[in-house]
Amino acid sequence: MNFYSLNKNAPKASFKEAVINGIAPDGGLYFPERIPQFPASFFDDIQNLSDHEIAYRALMPFVKEDIPDAVLRDILEKVLDFDFPIVPISEHVSTLELFHGPTMAFKDVGARFMARSLGYFFKNSEEHLTVLVATSGDTGGAVANGFLGVDGVEVVILYPSGKVSDIQERQLTTLGQNITALEVDGTFDDCQRMVKKAFVDPNLKGRVKLTSANSINVARWLPQMLYFLFTYKHLKAKGKELVFSVPSGNFGNICAGMIAQRMGMPVRHFIAATNVNDTVPKYMQTALYDPKPSTATISNAMDVGDPSNFVRIKQLYNDDFDQLKEHLSSYSFSDKETKEAIKSIYAKTGYIADPHGAVGYLGLKKYQETHPDTYGIFLETAHPVKFMDVVSSTLNTTLSLPPQIEKIMHKKKVSMAISQYEDLRKFLLN
Ligand SMILES: *Cc1c(COP(=O)(O)O)cnc(C)c1O
């Protein structure tokens, strides 16, 4: 499979090239040249397939020229070594918990798949690769954990000092081995600026091979389609049309679900649920895409004013707004509504949702008001403990720490303080 740039001004790339480049040389996102189709028998028989087999059949067409079958199966076995439980909430609603991985946010699967793919590509290479990533919280932890111990790849994470949560900082700074945390005296935007500068720094060209691990990378994006296929396998027997409500920020997760649908998976509809950063909900009302600077909310992993993956969704529908509307609705919710949802889910069912999942729940409820015949799934993208302050103050209760988090609470933090770009360059050249 080849991937082309959505800016249409760069050479086509193989899967391997697309993963290593991250973004195409013309600044466009990579998109698969065609969407493979599952045979109808795949969905007839899906209940008899293991998750590993489903994952193999879904991803193989995208990567087969670059990753041999046996290697792909081995990678998937290591990436998918935790559960994705579906928890019933009411008669027509379940939540899909995507937070049982090592860093307790759904980004673990994509980050691990990217890490293992690069690990394979650079296994016997003379060249070393450095993954450079700026984080405001969840991404850094998932990337650090995914790449830990991968041969041939060094990971350098920049995070703003004092501006990530205690748990998030521990997830970045206690791993060691090939992971280095640079603690930046500045904001997330400063971290991002330094990373961008490094990518175009002539002093680094030819001396350090850099790549980025943010969500536009095809190896982080595509494996997210597996969540939707695993859910279909389990809920097919309900005999109802399924709808997915996805709490969305950069729209990579929901776009991967829509790819699964285009590959043949029966789904009635997708709901993109957002916080007050409502660029896409507005677009779905007006057909005008008008990006804005982001606003801070309690579901902060979705504080995105110009979602980077939305161009992929538009491409999937050839920019046909009416066709897209058949399959996608989008609604926006305030922090107040989100907290009320956390309370009402807890009061009705005893289930503790995190702020992102609660936004997903609200989107689903809104859609089902007019489509009561459907079976709805909202995605729980992070463990509530990662948003302890909001959740415990909203519910007046405390949460106990799961083992993944407990494990890092008494490990020693190791980071290197930097304050300007020259510090980063010096570090990379050493
Ligand atoms: C990253 C993230 C999201 C948003 O996912 P996108 O693919 O960017 O839309 C939602 N919830 C949590 C907890 C996240 O970390």
* DSSP secondary structure letters along 360-417: HHHHHHHHHHH-TTSEEEEEE-B-GGGGHHHHHHHHT---PPPHHHHTTTTSPP--EE
Residue 347's pLDDT is what? Answer: 96
Section 104-128 average pLDDT: 91
Section 332-353 average pLDDT: 97
79 has pLDDT over 80: yes
Residue 190's pLDDT is what? Answer: 85
CA 402 to ligand 1 centroid distance, Å:
21
Residue 196's pLDDT is what? Answer: 82
Least confident of 245-259, 285-299, 354-368: 285-299
pLDDT digits (tens, 9 = 90+) for 21-56: 888 888 899 999 999 999 989 999 999 999 999 999
Residue 410's pLDDT is what? Answer: 87
Cα–Cα distance measured from residue 296 to residue 135, given in angstroms and rounded to the nearest whole number: 15
Residue 303's pLDDT is what? Answer: 87
405 has pLDDT over 90: no
- 388 and 345 Cβ atoms separated by less than 8 Å: no
Is the CB of 111 within 6 Å of ligand 1? no
Q: How many CA atoms lie within 13 A of 2 on its CB side?
A: 8
- 300 and 138 Cβ atoms separated by less than 8 Å: no
Residue 331's pLDDT is what? Answer: 98
**Ligand 1 binding pocket mutation candidate from 356, 385, 388 (most atoms within 8 A of CB):** 356
Residue 304's pLDDT is what? Answer: 87
DSSP 243: E
Residue 377's pLDDT is what? Answer: 98
Produce one character per residue of 67-98: b if its CB has 16 or more CB atoms within 10 Å, e if not.
Answer: beeeebeebbeebbeeebeeeebeebbbbbbb
Atom of ligand 1 nearest to the CA of 138: 15
CA 207 to ligand 1 centroid distance, Å:
34
Residue 425's pLDDT is what? Answer: 97
Report the topology of domain 83-103+221-398.
Rossmann fold (3.40.50)
Q: What is the CATH number of domain 2-70+107-220+411-429?
A: 3.40.50.1100
CA 427 to ligand 1 centroid distance, Å:
30
How large is the C-alpha radius of gyration of the chain? 21
Cα–Cα distance measured from residue 57 to residue 263, given in angstroms and rounded to the nearest whole number: 11
143 has pLDDT over 80: yes
What is the sign of the dihedral through the CA atoms of 51, 228, 47 and 98? positive
Q: Is 194 helix (H, G, I), strand (E, B) or coil?
A: helix
Section 399-418 average pLDDT: 90
Q: Which residue has the higher pLDDT, 166 or 417?
A: 417
| Percent of the chain with pLDDT strictly greater than 90 | 77
Is the CB of 72 within 6 Å of ligand 1? no
Residue 54's pLDDT is what? Answer: 98
352 has pLDDT over 80: yes
Cα–Cα distance measured from residue 114 to residue 271, given in angstroms and rounded to the nearest whole number: 27
DSSP 26: T
Q: What is the pTM of this model?
A: 0.94
Q: Is 107 a catalytic residue?
A: yes
Is the CB of 224 within 6 Å of ligand 1? no
Cα–Cα distance measured from residue 429 to residue 324, given in angstroms and rounded to the nearest whole number: 47
Task: List every span in the chain annotated with CATH 3.40.50.1100.
Answer: 2-70+107-220+411-429, 83-103+221-398
Average confidence score pLDDT of the chain: 94
DSSP 300: G
Cα–Cα distance measured from residue 210 to residue 189, given in angstroms and rounded to the nearest whole number: 20
Section 226-249 average pLDDT: 96
Catalytic residue among 12, 64, 78, 107: 107
Section 234-260 average pLDDT: 96
CA 248 to ligand 1 centroid distance, Å:
6
pLDDT digits (tens, 9 = 90+) for 183-224: 999 888 788 889 888 988 899 988 998 888 887 899 999 999
The candidate with the shortest Cα–Cα distance to 109, out of 151, 72, 131, 78, is 78
CB atoms within 10 A of CB 30: 26
Residue 345's pLDDT is what? Answer: 97
Is the CB of 135 within 6 Å of ligand 1? no
Residue 370's pLDDT is what? Answer: 97
Section 153-172 average pLDDT: 89
